[in-house]
Amino acid sequence: MSAVIEVTTVDPGLLADIQRFGAADVSACFSCGNCSAICPLSNNDGTFPRRMIRYGQVGLRDELLGSKELWACYHCGLCSESCPQRADPGEYMAAARRYAIASYDRTGLARALYVHPAVGSGVLVALAAAFATFFTLMSGAEPRHSLRLFSFLPDSVVHWTGIAVMIAVVLVALAGVSTMVHGLARHEGVHGRDLVVGAASWRRAWRGAWSAVAVESLGQKRFRDDCADADPAEHWYEKRWIVHATVMWGFIGLLVATMLDYGLSLTGVRATGTPEPVWYPVRLLGTVAGLAMVAGVTTMIVSRLRRSNQASTFSHQSDWVFLTLLWVVGVSGLLTELALYLPGAPSWGYWMFVAHVSLAMELLVLVPFMKFAHVIYRPVALFFQSLANTKA
C-alpha cells in the first residue's frame, strides 16, 4: 500500500509581493476575527476573509490562488472599518485579486501593468498609438456632403481587426482560466469527471453555471442583497451595486448593438454604416447603452475622487487607467454619433471615430490583463462556489 504525500510549498515573499499590488498591510493582523464576524458574505465557518489573509501571511501561494473565496468579495469595506489593527483587509482582498490576475497571466504583461506604472503607461500609450496609426493608414479620403464613417474607414478593416483582437484575447483568457481552474479544482478536490459523468453531474454543473453567470454575475444577487446595508450612499443612484450594474449592462448593450450591426450586414439585411435615424432599434440600443456606461463610469470616478466610501479610499493606478479608458471609449463613441447628426456633418467626426475605434481595440486587448479580467475570473470562482454549496 502506498501513501500519497501532499507537498505544500511556502513562499516567504508572498505577502511582500501582494503588497506591490495594493496598499494593504496585513502583517499586523493578529487573526482576531472581527472582519469575519462583520463580513456580510462570510459563511457559517467564520473563516472568510481571515483565511485569505492567513494564506498571505504564511506564504501559501497555491492555496490563495486556488481559493474561490478570493473572488467572492465585493469590496464593501465593512471589514476594513472594523479592523482594530487598521490592516485594511478589504483592500488586501482587492490587492490579492490583482496579484491573482497577474499570476494567471502567462505573458507577464499584467504584472508589468500593475507593479511598474512607468512600463505600464508606456505599453498603454504605445498600444493606443499603434492602433491609431494603423487605422489612420487604412482610412481613405473624406467623402463630402455627409459623414460616411465606413467610407472613410472601411468596415472590413474594423471588423477583421476586431475579430483578430478577439481571437487573441480569448486565447490568452483561456490560458489564464485553465491555470485558475487547475488551482481551484486541486484546492476544492473537484475532478472533471464529477461534472460530466451521469445525469446528476450534468444537472449540478448546469445549476452551477446558471448560478455563477445569470444569478450572481449578471443579476449581482449577493452584491445587491447581502452587501447593500454596508453601502453608505444616500441616494439610490449612488449605490455601488446599481452603479456597477449600470456600467456592466451598458457595456453589454454596446457589445450586443455592435454584434447586431455586424450580423445585419453579414446577412445582407442592412449594410454597416447605412445612415439611420437615432430611433432605429440597433442605433437606439447603442446610444442608450453608451449613455448608461458613461454615466456609471463617471459616478465611479467621482466616488473615487471624493473617497465617498471605504472601497474608494484607496485607488490603485490600475483602477484609474481602467476607468479612464472605459470613460474615454464611451465618450468618444457618443461624440462620433453626435457628429453624425449635427448639421453639416463636421469632419472632426472622422477623427473622433478613428480615436474611438483605436481605444476600443486597446480596451479589448487589455481585458485579460487589467481590472476588466474580473469578468472572466469571478464567474469561474462563483461556479466552484455553487458546486461547493450543492455538495453541501
Per the CB < 8 A criterion, the answer to whether 322 and 370 are in contact is yes
> In the complex with ligand SF4, which residue's Cβ is closer, 30 or 236?
30
> In the complex with ligand SF4, which residue's Cβ is closer, 50 or 61?
50
Residues 13-32 that bind ligand SF4 (CB under 6 A): 26, 29-32
Task: Single out the residue of 19, 43, 57, 85 in contact with ligand SF4 (rule: CB under 6 A).
Answer: 85
Task: Single out the residue of 59, 66, 77, 208 in contact with ligand SF4 (rule: CB under 6 A).
Answer: 77
CA distance 283 to 260: 10
The residue count for binding ligand SF4 (CB under 6 A) is 28
Residue 187's nearest CA partner among 101, 65, 94, 95 is 65
> In the complex with ligand SF4, which residue's Cβ is closer, 50 or 356?
50
Part of the chain binding ligand SF4 (CB under 6 A), chosen from 82-90, 169-177, 237-245, 281-289: 82-90
> In the complex with ligand SF4, which residue's Cβ is closer, 49 or 333?
49
CA distance 59 to 73: 21
DSSP string, 302-363: HHHHHT-SGGGSS--HHHHHHHHHHHHHHHHHHHHHHHHHSTT--THHHHHHHHHHHHHHHH
Contact letters for ligand SF4, residues 47-76 (x by CB under 6 A): --xx--x-------------------xxxx
Task: Single out the residue of 59, 90, 120, 273 in contact with ligand SF4 (rule: CB under 6 A).
Answer: 90
Shortest gap between Cβ of 179 and ligand SF4 (angstroms)? Answer: 24
Amino acid residing at 135 = F
CA distance 77 to 314: 11
Contacts of 1 (CB under 8 A, 6+ apart): none
Contacts of 4 (CB under 8 A, 6+ apart): none
Shortest gap between Cβ of 54 and ligand SF4 (angstroms)? Answer: 9
Does residue 96 bind ligand SF4 (CB under 6 A)?
no
Residue ranges in contact with ligand SF4 by CB under 6 A: 26, 29-35, 39, 41, 49-50, 53, 73-79, 82-85, 87, 89-90, 93
